[in-house]
Amino acid sequence: MKPEARFRGFLALWAGFLVAQAAWPPSTWDGFQGLATPPGETGRLFVVEKTGRIVVITNLARPTRTVFANLTTNLLTSGEQGLLGLAFHPRYAENRRLFVFRTLNTGPDGVRQPHNVLTEFRASDSNPNALDPASEIRLFAQHDEASNHNGGDLHFGPDGLLYVAVGDEGGGNDSYNNGQRIDRDLFAGLLRIDVDRRPGSLLPNRNLANPAQAWMITTNYSIPADNPFVGARSFNGLAVNPANVRTEFFAVGLRNPWRFSFDPATGDLWVADVGQDRWEMIFLSRAGANHGWPFREGRVAGPRSGAPAGFLTNAAFNHVPPVHVYAHGSGNDRGNSITGGRVYRGGRITALHGAYVYADYVNGNVWALRRDASGAGAVERLGGLSNVAGFGVDPSNGDLLAIQLNAGRVQRLVASPNSADPAIPPTLQATGAFRDPASLEVSGAFLPYEVNLPFWSDHAHKRRWVHLPPGRRVETDPDQAWRAPAGTVWMKHFEREMEPGVPTSRRRLETRFLVQRAQGVYGVTYRWTSPSEAVLVPDEGATEVLRVREGGGERDQTWRYPSRTECLACHNPAAGGTLSFNTRQLDLERTLADGTRVHQVRALAAAGYLDDRHGAGSSRPTFRESGTEASLEWKVRRYLDVNCGFCHRPGGPGGGLWDGRAGTPTDLAGLLGGAVITDGGVAGGRVLLPGDRPRSVLLDRMTRTDGRRMPPFEHGEPDPEGVALVAAWIDALPGRPGFEAWLATRGIPPAGSIADPSADHDGDGDPDLLEFLAGTEPTDRASRWNPRLEQVDGRPRLRVRVPANTALELQVSDRLDGATWTDAWTPESTTPRFPATDRDVSIDLPGDGSAPVFLRLGLRRP
């Protein structure tokens, strides 16, 4: 068998997961958040989208998709905000009532602020697959000062009452002191309310002297008389005023209960609580339970453990510890953000019957927890699936469904081979990827490629190859990850100099494969055990201690061979699966084995590997600038894109509070003074604070070697060059002007008004924002940005002055009427970039001057 054929066979043999994609069309869906089905129905499934839509899937045998509701008005979607929960009334077939939980920018008297809002709607009288927007009734609104820890899951319990999960309001270490309060706001617990206002239920406590609370709390629901804190005069042994007690509480002491559910067979209430820095937790909750946050995190002391002595054993505390915890970190038994699941009561996977199935959003692990007669739990890993935001049930057959927040997919749990399938070749040689592993001579199935800016991998030297299925092409995109066809394989090889600076001391460590499937990617790793062979790393990964000669002595370095779910944490759907297969990384000149110098993107396109939808290049700044050519800000933004942007982006596992992608302008990226999900012990910390290294949490996380290091996988050692780069930028930031501050130094706009980027205060035709970017004066008509066109040897040439830290964007068209503008890009011209200094740029334009060419020019900052 030829190596190429043997290798292609390997691709087809491994399924790898316990989950497979359900057959529902995902193409235009956005941010899957939850699943729900009206009680008693078997033919419809409702999908909650984070960005505000509820989509109904009908006729599950041959699914069709309809937008049931569009609730985007005033919806906040940054970070963990959005449309978060949906529940149907137990008698929905009779009354058409449903309930949603979302974060809205709303408030009384036109004063808009972020609020967590629980609302009732009804389905349309005339169309069962549409919401009646006029039926909205607000139950409560809770002002929320942070974008994270909102909870939002909704379920009706076996008692017919509505249960609502609410987080601790956000920040870190219980920043807003909500974790152990029942007499103030609706945070940090589970609520239980009566939406039918049954006889005997009570009105919620309302402080009518406080207009804000009077607006937030309505009488559109009532309190079950047996709620545990009704009439309470003490809490945790301390006196409280019963008139102020939020009697909605059913259980308290939760940090961010991201998904809870009832066992349909037993009624058990399972709650998954996202931990802070160390532990993720699963609770079996009950009335009046105090799950401990922030006194406890899991089974250990929490960030505010200075509670009254003996509180854990104090009956007044009513502490209910978790039934299971797992630690933060890498591996098959660890993770960083739990997604609560469901108890499986379907009939098609006997081995899972009665097990609680849950996942980790960041690591991608999917587990099953079973409890024995004593209550002790045993956990089994089922497989890996990234970005799982919730679980649901197929109403037609009881199958468990998992939703991926960013991938637009509903995954079905099926009894398929697990990831230890013996069909995976046990050795690197058996894959057929190398003709000769000893010399690293690859088979003809692979093509080598290089990247502009490698990801930091603990001092490793790396080589890269790609395999494409015969006759298939990669769909390119100038700004996003390229879309590779199923069957594409990327291979990356790692070596480490055991004595830095001595090439002959290099040791082979591992060779990884990333395989593109129709439903995402998977990865496998081979660990080199000799100069000529590497063996398959176990599914859970492996760790080795390397002995490195350094500074005249020796030291230990821990090297992590990633598990398959660790691969998925970085290669997640929001990042497009691959991390370096994009224009910014591949736009470079490289030397082939025969000494020929080629432009890599054009060479790939000419060889038939790429489409040519954007001319195999882009006028966008690439990552190939180096040394003193690029500005300090652009160097940092490139570095953050490569090392952080795969998680820290909208919809990514990083929480969405800041955006590491280089294409997002710094002033819009949440970097400068941006909030953090947890400060990790950095008092007053923000993402980056100009001139303040100690309180810049991003820098702190880059330098750590404990469980709070970033990125949480791959790295065991800080990147000295990256740390120095970010630190230098922090020091330089106080002198970085913003647009509004720049205008203010020139006396515009008038006091009390808002800066308008499109305003032209000197009437010279250049808007103020262009003047800011070009470095001209917005109050001087003679000061203008002045690109020039000229003829050189019969060809048109553009000359333009580009200020420091500013990129030139150029588009061309052959006509103005109905023009199609394309990015202008030629390998012979100077690639646009963010320069460290002002510079004059000359660009030869397409055409010979015989036909008109129309240009659009622009400037932008990183």
Residue 20 has pLDDT above 70, yes or no: no
For 44, the enclosing helix (H) or strand (E) is strand 44-49
Q: Which position has the higher pLDDT, 715 or 636? A: 636
Q: Tell me what the mean pLDDT of segment 322-327 comes to.
A: 94
**Could you give the CA distance from residue 325 to residue 138 in angstroms, rounded to a whole number?**
36
Residues 574-632: pLDDT tens digits?
A: 777 788 888 889 888 888 878 888 888 888 888 888 886 544 444 566 787 655 688 99
Taking all residues of the chain, what is their mean pLDDT, rounded to a whole number? 84
* Residue 4: predicted pLDDT: 38
Angle between helices 632-643 and 720-732 (to 10 degrees): 130
Long-range contacts of 718-726 (CB under 8 A, 24+ apart): 719/456, 719/643, 722/456, 722/639, 722/643, 723/699, 725/632, 725/635, 725/636, 725/639, 726/636, 726/639, 726/640, 726/688, 726/696, 726/698, 726/699, 726/702
Q: Tell me what the mean pLDDT of segment 403-412 comes to.
A: 79
DSSP 8-state code for residue 126: S
**Could you give the CA distance from residue 228 to residue 248 in angstroms, rounded to a whole number?**
9
* Alpha helices, DSSP H, located in 757-832: 768-774
- SS3 (DSSP) at 657: coil
* Residue 326: predicted pLDDT: 95
Smallest CA-to-CA distance from 490 within 460, 518, 512, 457 is with: 512
Residues 716-727: pLDDT tens digits?
A: 788 999 999 999
Percent of the chain's residues with pLDDT above 70: 86
* Residue 16: predicted pLDDT: 29
Residues 216-230: pLDDT tens digits?
A: 888 999 999 999 999
Residue 1 has pLDDT above 80, yes or no: no
* Residue 266: predicted pLDDT: 85
Dmax over Cα atoms in the chain, in whole Å?
92
| Integer CA distances (angstroms), 548 to 481, 496, 503, 554, 558, in order | 36, 9, 13, 5, 10
Answer for the pair 281, 273: CB distance below 8 angstroms, yes or no. yes
* Residue 738: predicted pLDDT: 79
Q: Which residues contact 829 (CB under 8 A, 6 or more apart)?
A: 842, 843, 844
- SS3 (DSSP) at 568: helix
* Residue 528: predicted pLDDT: 96
* Residue 825: predicted pLDDT: 52
Residue 2 has pLDDT above 70, yes or no: no
Asked whether the CA dihedral 747, 750, 756, 758 is positive or negative, the reply is negative
Q: Tell me what the mean pLDDT of segment 665-686 comes to.
A: 82
DSSP-derived pairing of the beta strands 296-297 and 300-301: antiparallel
Question: Range with the lowest mean pLDDT among 28-42, 233-247, 545-559?
Answer: 28-42
Q: Tell me what the mean pLDDT of segment 127-140 comes to.
A: 96
* Residue 265: predicted pLDDT: 82
Asked whether the CA dihedral 437, 438, 444, 450 is positive or negative, the reply is positive
**Could you give the CA distance from residue 362 to residue 561 in angstroms, rounded to a whole number?**
18
Percent helix / strand / coil, the chain, rounded to 5: 15, 35, 55
Question: Range with the lowest mean pLDDT among 275-279, 315-319, 846-850?
Answer: 846-850
Q: Looking up tokens 């049930």, which residue turns up?
A: 393
Residue 154 has pLDDT above 90, yes or no: yes
- SS3 (DSSP) at 665: coil
Q: Which residues contact 778 (CB under 8 A, 6 or more apart)?
A: 743, 746, 748, 760, 761, 762, 768, 771, 772
Answer for the pair 282, 245: CB distance below 8 angstroms, yes or no. no
Q: Tell me what the mean pLDDT of segment 377-403 comes to.
A: 87
* Residue 829: predicted pLDDT: 43
* Alpha helices, DSSP H, located in 608-655: 632-643
Question: Range with the lowest mean pLDDT among 17-26, 212-221, 438-447, 472-481?
Answer: 17-26
Long-range contacts of 606-614 (CB under 8 A, 24+ apart): 607/447, 608/473, 609/447, 609/468, 609/473, 609/474, 610/473, 610/474, 610/476, 610/482, 611/473, 611/474, 611/475, 611/476, 612/476, 613/475, 613/476, 613/477, 614/476, 614/477, 614/478, 614/583, 614/822, 614/823
Question: Range with the lowest mean pLDDT among 11-15, 730-734, 784-788?
Answer: 11-15
DSSP-derived pairing of the beta strands 19-21 and 409-413: antiparallel
**Could you give the CA distance from residue 418 to residue 762 in angstroms, rounded to a whole number?**
68
* Residue 48: predicted pLDDT: 93
**Could you give the CA distance from residue 337 to residue 322 in angstroms, rounded to a whole number?**
16
Q: Give the 3-state DSSP-derived string for 171-197, with helices as H, strands as E and coil as C.
A: CCCCCCCCCCCCCCCCCCEEEEEECCC
Residues 245-302: pLDDT tens digits?
A: 999 999 999 999 999 999 988 889 999 999 988 899 999 999 999 999 999 998 888 8
* Residue 71: predicted pLDDT: 96
Answer for the pair 342, 400: CB distance below 8 angstroms, yes or no. yes
Q: Which position has the higher pLDDT, 437 or 795? A: 437
Instruction: For residue 765, name the pLDDT band (cuts at 50, 70, 90).
Output: confident
| Integer CA distances (angstroms), 326 to 319, 341, 678, 860, in order | 19, 15, 19, 45
* Residue 751: predicted pLDDT: 58
b/e per residue, 139-160, with b = 16+ CB within 10 A? bbbbbbebbbbbbbbbbbeeee
Residue type, 290: N
* Residue 250: predicted pLDDT: 97
* Residue 415: predicted pLDDT: 66
Smallest CA-to-CA distance from 286 within 189, 198, 355 is with: 189
| 321, HSE (Cβ side, Cα atoms, 13 Å) | 15
DSSP-derived pairing of the beta strands 162-166 and 189-193: antiparallel
Residue 97 has pLDDT above 70, yes or no: yes
* Alpha helices, DSSP H, located in 300-445: 428-431
Instruction: For residue 714, name the pLDDT band (cuts at 50, 70, 90).
Output: low
Smallest CA-to-CA distance from 857 within 832, 837, 836 is with: 832
Q: Give the 3-state DSSP-derived string for 591-617, with helices as H, strands as E and coil as C.
A: ECCCCCEEEHHHHHHHCCCECCCCCCC
Question: Range with the lowest mean pLDDT among 83-92, 671-680, 763-772?
Answer: 671-680
Highest mean pLDDT among 121-130, 302-311, 312-321, 817-826: 121-130
* Residue 520: predicted pLDDT: 73
Q: Which position has the higher pLDDT, 314 or 174? A: 174
Residue 15 has pLDDT above 50, yes or no: no
Q: Looking up tokens 């209960």, which residue turns up?
A: 257
**Could you give the CA distance from residue 712 to residue 648 in angstroms, rounded to a whole number?**
12
Torsion angle (degrees, nearest 10) of CA 723, 726, 729, 733: -130
- How far does Cα 41 stand from its chain's mean position? 33
Residue 703 has pLDDT above 80, yes or no: yes
Smallest CA-to-CA distance from 806 within 771, 781, 846 is with: 771
Residue 486 has pLDDT above 70, yes or no: yes
Highest mean pLDDT among 231-235, 423-427, 620-624: 231-235
Question: Range with the lowest mean pLDDT among 10-19, 64-73, 91-100, 200-209?
Answer: 10-19
For 729, the enclosing helix (H) or strand (E) is helix 720-732
Residue 503 has pLDDT above 90, yes or no: yes
Percent of the chain's residues with pLDDT above 90: 40
Smallest CA-to-CA distance from 434 within 506, 485, 489 is with: 489
For 728, the enclosing helix (H) or strand (E) is helix 720-732
b/e per residue, 605-635, with b = 16+ CB within 10 A? beeebbeeebbbbbbbbbbbbeeeebbbbbb
Question: Range with the lowest mean pLDDT among 227-236, 470-479, 546-555?
Answer: 470-479
- How far does Cα 57 stand from its chain's mean position? 26
Highest mean pLDDT among 190-199, 611-620, 679-688, 703-712: 190-199
Residue type, 400: L
**Could you give the CA distance from residue 577 to residue 481 in angstroms, rounded to a whole number?**
8
Burial of 213 (0-12, 13-18, 19+ CB in 10 A): middle
* Residue 832: predicted pLDDT: 55
**Could you give the CA distance from residue 541 to residue 564 in angstroms, rounded to a whole number?**
7
Residue 12 has pLDDT above 50, yes or no: no
DSSP-derived pairing of the beta strands 489-497 and 460-467: antiparallel
Residue 422 has pLDDT above 50, yes or no: no
* Residue 735: predicted pLDDT: 82
DSSP-derived pairing of the beta strands 279-285 and 249-252: unpaired
Instruction: For residue 713, name the pLDDT band (cuts at 50, 70, 90).
Output: low
* Residue 397: predicted pLDDT: 84
Residues 430-455: pLDDT tens digits?
A: 888 898 989 999 988 888 999 999 99
Q: Which position has the higher pLDDT, 213 or 449? A: 449
